[in-house]
Each structure stands twice: as C-alpha cells, then as structure tokens.
C-alpha cells in the first residue's frame, strides 16, 4: 500500500482538534468527580492543541469547513462543558445562606450557563468578520482557564464563610456576559516589534511577568488583568 504524504498531512490539523476534544471530555469527567487539578491540566492541554491545530492548518494550507466546525465543537466541550462540570461540583461544597437552602439542589445546574454562553460565543466568532485581528467578548479559553485555575488555587476561600453560592452565581453570570459582550479585547498578535504598534501587548506581558510568582493563582489574575487592560486600551491607550 502506498501512503500519500500530502493526504496524511491534511488530516493532521483535525487530529490535533480531536486531541483537544478528548482533553475536554477528560476535563469534564474529572470536573464532575471533583478532580480539579486534573481537570485544569486537561483544559491547559486542550488549549495547547487548540492553538496548534489552526496554526498547522494555515502552514500546510489545508484549512477546511469541516475543520472549522470540528474546532468549534471541541472548543465548546473543552472550554464550555468542562468548566461547567467543575462549577457544578463546586456548588455542592460552597456555603448557602439560609434563605437559599431550599434551592440548594437546583442551583448547581446553573453552572451549565457557562457551556451555553460559550457555545453562543463560539457561534458569534465564526460569523463575525470583526474578529480577525482582535476579539469581541472574552475568548472561551480565557474564561475556562479563569474558572479552572480559580477553583484549583482558591477552593478553600470559595468554600469558606467569606464566600457563598450567591457570590459564585453572580461572578459566574458576569463572566457569562463577558463572553458575549460587545467589548473589544486585544489579541496577542505581533506584526512588528515596535513599541508604538504593540504598547498594550508589551504592558500586558510585563504585568503577566509580575503576576507569575503567584503560580496557579496568577492565571485568574492574568485574565482579569487582560480584561481591565483591554478596557483601558479602548478608552485611553489608543488615543495616546
């Protein structure tokens, strides 16, 4: 049998996308069982595969409609369903005010709003021509990494008396809205290395380096820094 190398290479991007999907399924399973560290690792691995599948497709010139659809399907699992599973499990451990106790059995299911809004975010991204060089709304990988790393690094606080299910729901719903908000967010794409054209990206990288000693706790802090800096960039830096 003669193997056609070009045909084999054509399948490589979709293979990477399927690896992303598998990581997402494993992350969701781990999340439902409260294995938060493993879920975070799988979401990170899925994000790596998600980064490289598109890059490989462009380098090989084998982008296809099925690849685009498969990519969205994988992303909604890895970056939508998986963090929803982690939140669903976390709702069983957080504190509930007395007035909310009657709803304690139902509130965890609101965690799947993250999956729904992530799906909506991905659908909008696929048809929005404005998002070729930047983002409108929080990217789903950033949202998933925020929740996964926050739960891993701050679980004791999230389950303490200083926090409760109401705060968790409000924070979760805020990030759901951020996914579909008409908020321009910069992308880390460098066309050149000049300060004038990339100042917001350089400022972001410097902030990330300053936050890096926080280890896992740095990830949710970096996501918040990314959102705040994008808002500052829209209001101030672009006019400077």
Q: Looking at the structure, do residues 10 and 85 belong to the same domain, yes or no?
A: yes
Round to whole Å and give the CA distance between 1 and 54.
30
pLDDT tens per residue, range 15-74: 899 999 999 999 999 999 999 999 999 999 999 999 888 778 778 776 777 878 888 899
Determine the average pLDDT of the residues in 188-202. 77
What is the value of pTM for the model shown? 0.89
Question: What was the pLDDT predicted at 239?
Answer: 53
Whether residue 204 is found in the same domain as residue 167: no
What is the sign, positive or negative, of the torsion defined by CA atoms of 153, 142, 70, 20? negative
**Domain count along the chain:** 2
Among 133, 151, 181, give the residue marking a domain's end.
181
Q: What is the pLDDT, as a whole number, of residue 133?
A: 64
Residues 168 and 213 in one domain: no
Indicate if 128 and 227 belong to the same structural domain: no
Is residue 13 over pLDDT 90?
A: no
Distance from C-alpha of 167 to C-alpha of 169, rounded to nearest angstrom: 5
Same domain, 20 and 135: yes
CA distance 113 to 182: 19
Query: 196 and 138 in one domain?
Result: no
């Amino acid at each position: 049998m003669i193997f056609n190398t070009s045909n084999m290479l054509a399948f490589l991007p979709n293979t990477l996308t399927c690896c992303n999907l598998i990581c997402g399924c494993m992350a969701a399973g781990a999340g439902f069982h409260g294995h938060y560290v493993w879920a975070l690792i799988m979401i990170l691995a899925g994000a790596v595969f998600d980064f490289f599948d598109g890059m490989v497709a462009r380098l090989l010139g084998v982008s296809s409609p099925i690849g685009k659809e498969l990519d969205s399907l994988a992303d909604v699992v890895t970056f939508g369903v998986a963090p929803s599973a982690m939140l669903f499990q976390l709702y069983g451990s957080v504190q509930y005010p007395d007035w909310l106790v009657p709803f304690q059995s139902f509130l965890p299911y609101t965690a799947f709003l993250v999956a729904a809004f992530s799906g909506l975010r991905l659908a909008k991204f696929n048809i929005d021509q404005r998002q070729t060089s930047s983002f409108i709304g929080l990217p789903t990988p950033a949202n998933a990494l925020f929740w996964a790393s926050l739960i891993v690094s701050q679980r004791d606080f999230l389950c303490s008396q200083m926090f409760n299910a109401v705060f968790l729901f409000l924070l979760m719903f805020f990030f759901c809205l951020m996914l579909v908000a008409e908020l321009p967010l910069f992308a880390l794409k460098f066309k050149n290395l000049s300060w004038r054209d990339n100042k917001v990206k350089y400022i972001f990288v410097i902030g990330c380096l300053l936050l890096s000693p926080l280890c896992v706790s740095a990830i949710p802090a970096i996501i918040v820094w990314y959102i705040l800096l994008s808002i500052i960039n829209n209001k101030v830096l672009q006019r400077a």
